């Protein structure tokens, strides 16, 4: 199961880059370099399951969310919150938002545009 971990700090980053350090899959997970580790025999199935989940999601909202996360690193807190509020106003009125709510009420999987 994926575990939330802190970002790799400057000291560890320098260590990895200067020493060309190799880590095990378990170490990579612990350090937050990867978000999940699966046995090789399950890799393709897990990858396809993740790809399907993402492909079937609300694409507009997911793109805006990713952009907000990337933007937040460069913006002040106030600017980041305004950016998120602006994007939320757009996605809340997108047809996918209505479909998500309807699917939830009808207890079915959503069919996003």
Give the pLDDT confidence score for residue 12 in this predicted structure.
79
CA 29 to chain centre: 15
Q: How many domains does the chain divide into?
A: 2
Does any domain span residue 50?
Answer: no
Q: Which two tokens stand for residue 85?
A: 């509020």
Does any domain span residue 14?
Answer: yes
Does any domain span residue 51?
Answer: no
Q: What is the pLDDT of the chain when averaged over all its residues?
A: 88
Whether residue 36 sits in one domain with residue 68: no
Whether residue 33 sits in one domain with residue 3: yes
CB 72, CB 80: distance < 8 Å: yes
Whether residue 66 sits in one domain with residue 33: no
Give the pLDDT confidence score for residue 4 in this predicted structure.
42
The CATH number linked to 67 is 1.10.12
CA distances from 109 to 57, 58, 64, 81, 99 (A): 10, 12, 22, 30, 10
Does any domain span residue 48?
Answer: no
Distance CA 57, CA 66 (A): 13
pLDDT band at 5 (very low <50, low <70, confident <90, very high): very low
Write out pLDDT tens, residues 27-82: 889 888 888 999 999 999 999 999 999 999 999 999 999 999 888 888 999 999 99
CB 25, CB 34: distance < 8 Å: yes
DSSP states of 68-85: HHHHHTTS-HHHHHHHHH
Helices (H) and strands (E) in the chain, counts: 6, 0
Give me the domain span that covers residue 22: 1-40
* Rounded percentage of the chain residues whose pLDDT exceeds 90: 61
């Amino acid at each position: 199961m994926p575990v939330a971990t802190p970002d790799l700090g400057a000291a560890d980053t320098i260590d990895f880059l200067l020493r060309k350090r190799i880590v095990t899959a378990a170490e990579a997970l612990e350090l937050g370099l990867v978000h999940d580790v699966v046995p090789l025999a399950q890799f393709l199935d897990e990858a396809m399951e993740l790809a399907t989940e993402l492909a079937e999601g609300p694409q507009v909202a997911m793109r805006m969310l990713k952009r907000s996360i990337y933007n937040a690193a460069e913006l002040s807190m106030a600017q980041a919150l305004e950016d998120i509020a602006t994007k939320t106003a757009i996605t809340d009125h997108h047809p996918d938002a209505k479909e998500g709510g309807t699917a939830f009420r009808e207890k079915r999987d959503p069919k996003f545009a």
